[in-house]
Structure formats: C-alpha cells, structure tokens
Chain A
C-alpha cells in the first residue's frame, strides 16, 4: 500500500516538473556574493632588515618562497643593462657549486630555483623545501661570477638587441618610455648595443654588492609551512647576511606636453604602425581616485567589450585589437592606449583614439557599462584568491605602498561604490586629451602627410628617441637627379673605370640571430648573376640566372624562375645599374635624413618596371640606402638595404657592409653582411651561373 502511494507521488512530481518547464530565456541570477575571507600572513622582521611574511596553506605538500628587494627604479645610465646581466650571472654557479652542480642539485629534488637582480624564488615539495631554499640563498649570497659566463650572457644580450633592431613593436616599447619620461630618467632609459658593450664584469660585481642586500628585502613564504619553521629557515639562510643600505630614490616629476603633440619614428619596413596615446599620471594606490580609475580604464580599453576595441576593431577594422592601461604606484606612471594599425589608416585611428578619450572626459558612462566593469572586477578578485600567493602579495603591497591595513578587505566595497560621476571626474583628470603624446612608429612616407592634416604639432624622432634635426636638411642645396647620379658614379670610380668592370665575385659572412653563414655573389655583364649561401661548408641556398633561365635551390627543393622574373633579370644591362639610368624614370625625392645625415632621395622606375628608391649621401655622394619594392606572393613589400664601409678595390669603391631588412609576416628580419674579398673581372664563365 505504502509502496503504491510513493509511486503515485513520484508520478505526480514528475508531471509537475514537466508542466513547469524551465524558462531558458531567463538568465540565472547569481547566488548571494561569496564571503571572501583571507587570513593575514604572519609578519616579522629579521635583525638585518629583512621582512618575513608567511601565508600558511597546507592544501598541497608544496612551499614557495620569494625574496624581493624593493630598490625602486634604478638609473643605470651609460651602462644600461648591467642589472639584467647581473641577475643572469647569479644563475651561473656559486663559489661552492659550478652551474652544472647547482642545476643538478635543483633538478634532483624536482624543485625550481631562480634568482634575478631584484631577488629570487624557490619552490618545491615540502620535504625538499629546506634544501631548495638554501640553494636560493646560496645563489644570492655566494655567486661565482665566472668570466666565461659573463661573455656568454653579454653576447646573448647583444644578439637579442640585434634581432629586435627593426621590430616596430620593440622600437615602440623603447621610444614611448624614452619620449614620455626622457632618456635620463630610470623609466625612460634603455639598453642599447653601446651600453651593453660598455659593461664589464667589474660593473656587474659592483651592481651586485650595491643592490643584492638584506636592506628593503621582503621574504615571502606561501604553502605547507608553519610561521615558526619559516622564521627558523629564514634566520638560518639570511640571519647573518649583511649588505649596503638602500634608500628609495626620489625622482623629479616629469611634465606632460603643454598641448597634444605627435611624435613620429620612421621605420620604413614596418607593415603596421604602432600607435600609442599616452600621458604620465600620479596615481598612488592610496589615492581616493584609484578604484574609479581602474573602472574608467576598463570601460575605455580594458578588453574586447570596451570602447576602444569596439570602435577601432569592430566598427572600423583598423586593427586586430586596441586597448588601454593605467599605471599606478609610488612613482609617476603612464596612462596609455595603443594599437597596431595598417599604415594607411593611422591618421584615422589617431582621430578615433582621441575621440574615445574625449567622450570619457565629457560624457557620463552608461550605468550598464559601469555595472559590467564592476562585475568583472568582483569576479577577477574572487578568481585571484585561488592562488594562495595572492594573500602574500596583498600584504606586501600594503607594506610597500604604505596602505591602510584593510585596503584589500575593503577593495570590492570601494569598487562597488564608484559612481558614473566618479568615472567622469577621474577620466578628465587622468586621461589626457589636450596635453597627451601620440607616439607613432611606422613608415613615415605613408603616414606623415595624413598626420600633418590633423592639426597637431608633429615631431620626428629616430629609433632611439633622439629628435631628428630637420634643420640639418635645410641648408643642403637642391640637386637635379641627373647631377646626383653623376656625382655618385664619379665617387665610386668614374664612368670609364666602371664600364671596364665586366664581372666580379664577392665573398662574405652574414649573421642571422647568432647563426653564421657564408655568402658568395657573382655577377657578369650584362645580366648573369649567382648567389650562394652556405653554412658550415654545406650549400643551403642557391639562386642563379644565366641570362636566359634562372633557378632557386633551397635544400633538396628547387624552383625555376617565373616568366616575370626572367623578364626582369634579362632586362638588366650591366653590373652598375646607375650607368643605365638614362633608360629609367628617375624622379627627385627631395633631401631626407639617413642615419642622421642629409641624403638625396631618388624615386626610380627601371626600364623593366621594377620600382625602388635610392638615397645618396649629400656629402660623399655615395649610395647609402636602397628601398626595393618586390612581390612576395601577391603582396608588394619593401626590402631595405643599407650600404656602408666603402673601400677601394682597384679603381672602384665598393660597400663592404650591407644590411638587409625584409618583412616577414607581421614583423621584419634583418641580415647584416660583411664582405671579405672582392675580385674584379674574375675569370667567370657561363658555367658559374647554372
């Protein structure tokens, strides 16, 4: 009886569920906000000044310790890069262990130990943590500084700088800070080939003794460890450590420009321009504006729902993404909005950037936008708590920035209290529209005319943020293209001598990303050509044209020249193109600067249709750069070749150094070639070009 009753009831229940079908059009409402609890870390100080913070969390049998030295922004000056090299050297062995022994000891425990110029970290399973921690201390306190390691790291640093030489985004990263803060400011200075070359091992050692110290040091333990055990370990590893006393540097305040100005950096090979709209802000975390600025930035450019993205990408399709960010802290920081934009849309994109910033400054944001931004911050805050290290960084931030103890406890409360009026007020105060800098890195020829129409002051800078002195060009007399060519031909030996050169071979080295390759170039009048690239004695690439057919060989693959390529090569009349410019269309491109010196620019359309621009040094008359337009696939790209180190061979001046930059995808590849021997009128035969 009872059984049946239950069955009936179940049947009824099932029916009622069917009847009350879920209304899926209603988005579920959130449950009550989760209580966010976090325990304060245990904090104490070692006698030598190190502050120790411990966040005990036994969920996993693992401990992580981090040591950070709060030295503030450090001015490196002429030796920029010394701190990063010093940090690298701390990982190259200690006075007790070679690098190999040190690595072995770390790996044996399955641990991670890293040190840098601002501290270090050690992380491992609980049972190995003491040993892992002592290794970190050893690396910090007893580095060996071997000369061989220094040489290795220095050459790696130089290779890294070279590989980024033409990258618009790398250049932008450098010049935006350099122009905003000035190059003598620690935030504005940058590492260069010159500054790295100036660094010695002694510099590294003295930077070490100055900046790796217990002074202003914070040691954080997170994980499966008790405060007592952590304190004992900290005392054992660092208790008797002494070092220099650090004081936080005081930096002079840097002013924003009095009215908005554009800075343009010419990178002729750039396929996209990097645009940054920026101004400096003073926004300590303790500022009553802090939370409102976070939300204002989120609404303007915090992600793919924000105004900048919606406007520049979705509405206009200028770019793959446009974002903004606002720095904060004890020192002047940057508000900046940026995007990589197609060259032809740069001026329009600048207008849209400034328009969106202006709207933030003059109109209240919608209630919905503000609520969404708040929800995002609430969620991000909660999700961040999954990482126990977050508690330690909260405590550290409170100490370093001298914040009220409840700063993070009341963080969401303050976020949620921000009003539409607050957002308007802080946008006006922190997002510059009338006193901003618009810093653009891209192809000047394509961008400049459009920018000039915007009505802002446009200033030109080089890739190292040095103003381009337009006055240098002013005094240079105008010259007709024919005269420029005659001067050039004369400078490299004169027409008579040049016409005697019927062939040559050149042998040289070139380097790409630390990879050394050998290069042989042969040419024979009128139009035979061969280029052979080899690596360690093996030919890796060959490109030959024998006057009627051409072939490109790369490894086992080979491709014959297309009819178009044959036509182009066949039309060549001799080794020195300029001797035959009479049959080309040559236009005056004005006086421009190449590497800071005035040069005559000629725009040339060869009789076979190929397009290029030549740059002849105004003083020496020599060809210093050539921009060649060529097709890669169905896209026309610009290949830039710089010529330097002209030397005499027989009666002819030859450039011994060539640097070629080719666009590859969204970035560029640079190859430097140094020629070793050049033989004029070498005994070549048609067989050399097969």
Chain B
C-alpha cells in the first residue's frame, strides 16, 4: 500500500488528469488468510459484495474437466441455514441482484444490494465459503442444469464452438486445452468425494479475495467482515503446479462444423503471453488498431472498402499463464475464406514491418482511456477489477490504477516489435468454421 501511494504521488506531477480517477481502496488479510479489499463510494446507495476464488478450469484434473464451472452452480445450493433454492430468492426478495461466472483462471461470485443490505450479502457469501451444501441431490440437480446450459450456450449457440476448436490445438498438452464447461462424461462420472475434495482444496479463504465496493463505512464494514468470515477455518495455501507449454513450430489447420450457422467464418489464432505481461497489453492495443471501431484497419478495408466481409474482429484472449490472439472474419457475398485470411495476414504483416501512424497512436490512447474510465463507472466493475489485480498481478491490487500508465508508456516501435515477436504463422491455428447441413 505504502509503495503504491508513493508511486501515485510521483505520477501525479506528470499526469494530473488521470489522478482524479484513481480508485482508492483499503486492503488487509484476516487471520484465516482471506484477503479483503474495501472501496468506498457514496455516490449512490448501493453496495457490491463479491468473492473471487482463484480457481478455474485450468486447475481441474484432465479426467474431471468442468469442475470449476460446476461449482459456480453448486455453490448456490444453500447451506444449513439456506434451503435449496433460497439463496437466489433471498437476494431478489431483499431487492438485490446476483450472479457468478467462471473463467479458465478464476470464479467470481457477487451480489449487488441497496447499501443497507450489506450485512445480508456478507452472510450469504460467508455461508457459501464456510458451509455450502454439497450433496448427491445438489450434484444431480446441477448436473441437469449444466447440461441445459451447454445445450443453450455451446451446442445451440451460433459460432459457439470456436474456442474449443482453437484451444485444443493452441494449448495442447496444457490445462488450457479443454473448455470451461468441461466434459459431460467427466461430470457424469464424478463422485461426491471428488467434489468435496475439490472444494476443500480450492474454496478456502487463503485462495479467495472478498471485495466490497460502494456506499459503506469502512470501519463498520471491517467489523462485519470479521463477524461473518473470521470463523471460516484457515485453509492451506494453494500451490499451483507449473506446466510447460509444448513447443509449436508449424501452423495447424482445422475445420469445424456448426449446425447453428448459415454463414461460414475464418479464424486465425496465435499464442501470446499471459495477462500479467506487458506484451499482453501491447496485444490489446494491436487488436484495437485492427478492429476497434469503424475506422480500424480491418473494418475499413474488408467491410467498407472491399465489402468482402460482413464482420471482422481481432481480440486478445488474455489468460493468466498464456494468451490467444484471435482474428476472425465472416464473408460477404461469395468471398472465399482464404481471401479473407489473406487480407488479415496482409494487415498483420504491415504491423510487423511498419510503424502505426501518429493518428492511430493517438486514437489508441484515447480509446483505452475511454474504456478505462467506463470500466470503473459501476461498483461491480470496480470490485471485479480490484480483485483481479490482486489475484492475477502478484497481489498488486493497485494494478487497476497502473494499467493506463502502462498503456501510455507503450510506443509504436514496441507495438511493431511485439507484433513481430508473436504473430508468426508457425505459432498459429487456422480454423475454417463451416455450416453443417
């Protein structure tokens, strides 16, 4: 904290306008290892209560994929004090909203409440951490729900299978090769003791961050946090086994079929460094040059001028340990997919050999500043960003305030160098994504 404050002071001389937006916070650990982050903002009478567990699909046994996402559902099943189905009902009948989501790297649970219901939010999240109901009946119910979700979100969703078909090649041999939703066969085969063991290992206070943002009194909130979370027993710190990404030295080409689409698509995906790295931020800037807004390079060339594409997009899929840089296009008229790929490749080559223009550089700065401001406009966004900083950036909660400075320090030369370093054909997957009759 002290060090961060110093950094803020030094920067303030250089960058006055950004200072006004710094997100202030207090953070500390409970004796049981739970990390707590508090952010006060009294603008509106609302509070976000959230817990980020540092567990995602990459922490799963390769023979039991889908566990982390399964827990996203299972941990709504209640506790000795909350009957089945009462968790969500309690939230809505008290004027709140809640949800949860799972990534390859973490699971995020949250409630939004009018600020006088802060204590209720803490009670709910502490019940979930201390004594969730994990039994056969709950596992059976949620197994059906997860299958329904897979039908809706993956099987019946147009283009829903692209990441599956890219990641299985790009990250082959690592835990990023399988999908968050996992294998239904694995889930069917899983036993209750396996679920209990997974909970014990990953859902303890030492592997979690409790973040509260909104209309709170910081000292009072500290007391309430202690009241509800102090009795959660200390958990063993989670040590994540490192794994090696196997070498990749040849382009991989594959084809996927999807019954939900009528227009084919071409995808190209490169291996890039994980979100903690500076290069990951550079990749985000590269995405913006290629497809951020109507005047971006790919949009202008393929959608507006040549009219060969209905839609183009390029984005950095940043994960904790590695990342995927994905570009895609949907053809307009009869344009063959290979023509689209050639146009995308030409733009990538240009990034590797030429510097972006001053105008584009300025555009990038403005686009990132704008999205940074918007990302921290709601309490839930602030809570998640603070928790992510702590979870993924070496316990540096202040990452939320440093991100924009990093972006501002990246030069056109660095953008060219990073494009050259990572966007190589030998380290990519090309996926033809076609309608299935």
Contacts and interface: CB of A to CB of B under 8 A. Distances in A.
A372 interface: yes
Contacts of A377: 95
A36 to B, nearest CB: 6
Given A32-B116, A303-B92, A516-B334, A103 B369 contact: no
Interface stretch (A469-477, A490-498, A554-562): A554-562
Contacts of A583: none
A304 B97 CA distance: 13
Contact of B295 (A27, A104, A555): A104
B363 interface: yes
B335 A125 contact: no
B120 interface: yes
The B interface is mostly helix, strand or loop, or mixed, namely: mixed
A513 B264 CA distance: 11
B173 interface: no
A600 to B, nearest CB: 31
Contacts of B88: 304
A106 to B, nearest CB: 7
Contact of B259 (A108, A124, A125, A664): A664
Interface string A660-681: 0000111001000000000000
Nearest to B155: A665
A664 B259 CA distance: 7
Interface stretch (B177-185, B274-282, B344-352, B370-378): B370-378
Contacts of B117: 30-31, 379
A665 B296 contact: no
The CB with the most chain B CB atoms within 10 A, among A380, A513, A515, is that of A515
Nearest to B93: A372
Contacts of B203: none
B95 A109 contact: no
A570 interface: no
B120 A27 contact: yes
A73 interface: no
A540 interface: yes
Interface string B122-136: 110001001000000
Contacts of B17: 61, 127
Interface residues of A, number: 68
B257 A535 contact: no
A526 B427 CA distance: 52
Contacts of A378: 95, 114
B434 A379 contact: no
Contact of A22 (B112, B118, B231, B367): B231
A111 B293 CA distance: 10
B162 interface: no
Contacts of A538: 336
Interface string B312-334: 00000000000000000001111
A198 B433 CA distance: 37
Contact of A379 (B96, B262, B292, B436): B96
Interface string B82-113: 00000011101111110000000000000011
B3 interface: no
Interface string A53-76: 000010111100000000000000
A357 to B, nearest CB: 22
The CB with the most chain B CB atoms within 10 A, among A62, A107, A387, A515, is that of A107
B119 interface: yes
Interface stretch (B43-51, B57-65, B241-249): B43-51
Contacts of A34: 45, 114-116, 215
Contacts of B113: 379, 383
Given A61-B373, A535-B334, A556-B255, A375 B44 contact: no
A536 B373 contact: no
Contacts of A512: 262-263, 435
A665 to B, nearest CB: 4
Interface in B202-218: 215
Contacts of B335: 536
Interface string B346-387: 000000000000010011011111110110111100000000
Contact of A106 (B120, B156, B293): B293
B147 interface: no
A455 interface: no
A103 B293 contact: yes
Interface residues of B, number: 79
A555 B46 CA distance: 54
A29 B130 CA distance: 20
Nearest to B254: A556
A107 B20 contact: no
Contacts of B263: 512-515
B262 A513 contact: yes
Contact of B368 (A32, A110, A513, A536): A110
B257 A555 contact: yes
B97 A383 contact: yes
A661 B355 CA distance: 51
Interface in A94-117: 99-100, 103-104, 106-111
B437 A554 contact: yes
A22 B142 CA distance: 30
A99 B300 CA distance: 10
Nearest to B117: A30
A28 B117 CA distance: 8
Contacts of B310: 514
Contact of A61 (B21, B89, B122, B437): B21
Interface string B394-437: 00000000000000000000000000000000000000101111
A377 B432 CA distance: 48
B437 A24 contact: no
A32 B367 CA distance: 42
Given A305-B93, A536-B334, A108 B45 contact: no
B115 A541 contact: no
B227 interface: yes
Given A106-B294, A514-B263, A386 B370 contact: no
A12 interface: no
Contacts of A103: 293-295, 300
Contacts of B231: 21-22
A21 B400 CA distance: 37
A535 B95 contact: no
Given A22-B231, A385-B46, A664-B259, A31 B116 contact: yes
B120 A125 contact: no
Contact of A110 (B80, B114, B367, B435): B367
Contacts of B199: none
Interface in A347-363: none
Given A516-B334, A555-B257, A28 B436 contact: no
Interface string B223-242: 00001100100000000000
B333 A376 contact: no
A366 interface: no
B336 A557 contact: no
A384 B63 CA distance: 44
Given A60-B21, A379-B114, A107 B45 contact: no
B94 A554 contact: no
A227 to B, nearest CB: 19
Given A34-B114, A109-B366, A664-B260, A386 B93 contact: no
A60 B304 CA distance: 34
Contacts of B80: 24-25
B373 A60 contact: yes
A128 interface: yes
21 contacts: A22-B228, A34-B45, A60-B376, A99-B294, A100-B294, A100-B300, A107-B296, A108-B362, A109-B366, A125-B369, A128-B366, A304-B88, A377-B95, A382-B45, A383-B113, A383-B114, A386-B44, A387-B378, A514-B263, A555-B432, A557-B255
Given A382-B114, A383-B114, A557-B255, 11 more contacts: A24-B123, A24-B130, A62-B373, A107-B293, A108-B359, A108-B363, A110-B370, A128-B366, A379-B95, A516-B333, A554-B434
Closest 5 CB pairs of A and B: A379-B95, A110-B366, A34-B45, A103-B294, A107-B293
